């Protein structure tokens, strides 16, 4: 009986540790999403200005499509570079 109660407290400590780790991760993800959402419009506006300068397109729909395409292309390139950089020595991600 004594050993059973002891194991309960030890497992309870592991649960508390894991709960704190998960809570910390949730807070980090939430704040990261908030930061990304805040900068979204700024990145779009800066890219819009660049696309407009390079292409001289006046139609707002075409300009928006070109800007979104540019942001998507740059993001895909960054994802590819990051995935290549972070893969282990065996060629696995």
Structural domain boundaries, residue 8: 2-86
Whether 93 is covered by a domain: the verdict is no
**In the chain, pLDDT over 90 holds for what percent of residues?**
70
Is residue 67 a contact partner of residue 44, using CB atoms and an 8 Å limit? Answer: yes
Q: How many CB atoms lie within 10 A of CB 51?
A: 21
Three-state DSSP class for residue 93: coil
Phi and psi torsions of 59, nearest 5°:
-70, 125
Task: Give residue-wise pLDDT tens across range 40-78.
Answer: 999 999 999 999 999 999 999 999 999 999 999 999 999
pLDDT tier for residue 93 given thresholds of 50, 70 and 90:
low
Question: Which pLDDT score, from 0 to 100, does residue 86 have?
Answer: 86
Average pLDDT for 26-52: 95
Whether 91 is covered by a domain: the verdict is no
Instruction: Look up the pTM and report it.
Output: 0.65
Q: Which residue has the tokens 């397109």?
A: 57
Domain count, the chain: 1
């Amino acid at each position: 009986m004594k050993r059973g109660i002891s194991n309960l407290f030890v497992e309870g400590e592991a649960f508390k540790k894991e709960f704190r780790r998960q809570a910390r991760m949730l807070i980090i993800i939430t704040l990261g999403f908030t930061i990304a959402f805040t900068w979204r419009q700024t990145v779009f506006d800066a890219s819009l200005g660049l696309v407009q300068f390079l292409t001289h397109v006046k139609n707002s729909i075409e300009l928006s499509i070109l800007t979104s395409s540019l942001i998507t292309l740059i993001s895909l390139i960054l994802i590819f570079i990051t995935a290549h950089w972070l893969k282990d020595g065996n060629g696995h991600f």
